[in-house]
Structure 1
Amino acid sequence: MKKIDSFHYITHPLTDYPIARQVDDVCRCGCTWIQLRLKQSDTEERLDTALSVYPVLKRYNAKLIINDDVHVALAADADGVHIGARDMHPSDARHMLGPNKIIGCTANTLDDVLRLSQYDIDYIGVGPFRFTSTKEKLSPVLGREGIHRIVAAARIHGVCLPIIAIGGIMPRHIAAVMETGVHGIAVSGAICGADDPSAASQAIMKQLADYRSPTADHQSPKR
């Protein structure tokens, strides 16, 4: 099983906070998992942006995951791709990228998790935890209890894939979210929308440190 970080940062295009600076800020604070999300961009712009942040990623030994666009992930030789329900089928993505690249998928229900777990993927993002303005076409909000139920049921069904909670998670929510039994969290607005993105990154890293362990993705949810 590939190593999946517990802290995923998802970029968000902002005119006053360039993506390269976002990446540098979070990596400098210890984040080593960057998901490049450029929903409104074309393939060429996504590829150019991916290549432009490589020097920063290399400096911090961070991974680059491309959101939605398997073709860009392949062209940029990124570490992997994260695909949603309306994107390429996981099996097609695996065929294109090969066995060594990371593939993550989005789920909103237990049925989604069980279906996706049948494919050759490496983690599942479950959410949204709460409303978020950084994501369009939002699925029904799950909240803490919804994520808890999905994680618990998935483990009962034998799903051992790391589950990452996503959607509107702020530093004040981290303890409650991690207690659902998830492997980690993915955030965007909590950092790029903060007055001090570096301080927000550090606060998240500090809280997650309390929950990290070699068997974190196999823990039962705390009650």
Structure 2
Amino acid sequence: MRLHLITPENSSFQTLITTIPPMQDDFDMLHLRLHYFSDQKLLSLVKELRSKSFPDSKIILHDRPHLVAELGLPHVQIGFRSPRFEVVKKRYPFLQIGVSVHSLMEMEQAKEAEFFMLGHIYQTASKPNKQPLGEKEAKQIIEAVHQPVIAIGGIQPAHIAPLHQIGFHGVAVMGGILNADKPVEALASYNRARGELDV
């Protein structure tokens, strides 16, 4: 069960470069979902992470394939703020493309994606007025595709086991870790839950 760490909406440059590198061995992928950062600020952030020995292989930059290509990163994540999947795939065929989706219909529009991020699975403060998919509907969606699917939305350590059981390849966590009072301890609680899985 892979653990993807996503930058919260209120992330600052300094907080990210201070908090994330010391934890890099304890999660699998870092999603830089920072739509309010300028291109130049994102370039500077990635360069700063590199200076702290954070591996390119763990970085997934959201919405800006042109920056991913410029930086020589392998992964891009696209969603509603991004160019369409087929446009990105045609222009940047060398990139591994993850797609953020909310339904099977959206998955079918990006059949060549490397993986999907599906949500929101549980109720979350970031989407208080939207009904979550829930585990039952998520399971039906997962069973209809062959790519790995990552769960996102309201995920707590107690959700790791049931999400693994219904077929998720991993989980993506945002506020539950980086917005916690003690991010290192919060991350450890998710990893304890991962460690208890029957693999």
Aligned to 2:70: 75
Aligned to 1:122: 114
- TM-score after normalising by structure 2: 0.85
Aligned to 1:208: 194
Aligned to 1:220: none
Report the Cα offset of residue 11 of structure 1. 1.4
Report the Cα offset of residue 16 of structure 1. 9.9
Answer whether contact 1:27 1:62 (CA < 8 A) is retained: no
Aligned to 1:8: 4
Change beyond 3 A, Cα 1:175–1:17: farther
Alignment equivalent of 1:27, drawn from 21, 24, 34: 24
User: Secondary structure, in 3 states, of the residue corresponding to 1:182?
Assistant: coil
Answer whether contact 1:32 1:62 (CA < 8 A) is retained: no
- TM-score after normalising by structure 1: 0.77
Residue 181 of structure 2 aligns to which amino acid in structure 1?
D
- C-alpha root-mean-square deviation of aligned residues, in Å? 2.6
User: Secondary structure, in 3 states, of the residue corresponding to 1:50?
Assistant: helix
Q: Percent of aligned pairs with the same residue? A: 24
Q: How far apart are the structure 2 equivalents of 1:25 and 1:143?
A: 33
Q: How far apart are the structure 2 equivalents of 1:130 and 1:151?
A: 16
Aligned to 1:87: 82
Write out per-residue CA displacement over residues 6-31 of structure 1, whole angstroms, 9 at most, x where no aligned residue.
Answer: 11111124359711123224314x21
Report the Cα offset of residue 84 of structure 1. 0.5
Aligned to 2:139: 148
Answer whether contact 1:36 1:50 (CA < 8 A) is retained: no
Answer whether contact 2:86 2:110 (CA < 8 A) is retained: no
Alignment equivalent of 2:179, drawn from 178, 193, 197: 193
Q: How far apart are the structure 1 equivalents of 2:83 and 2:49?
A: 24
Alignment equivalent of 2:149, drawn from 127, 146, 163: 163
Change beyond 3 A, Cα 1:14–1:200: same
Instruction: List gaps (5 residues or longer) in structure 1.
Output: 214-223
Answer whether contact 2:142 2:149 (CA < 8 A) is retained: yes
Residue 109 of structure 1 aligns to which amino acid in structure 2?
S
Residue 107 of structure 2 aligns to which amino acid in structure 1?
V
Residues paired across the two proteins, number: 198
Which stretch of structure 1 is more off in the superposition, 185-194 or 198-207?
198-207
Aligned to 1:96: 91
Answer whether contact 1:10 1:37 (CA < 8 A) is retained: yes
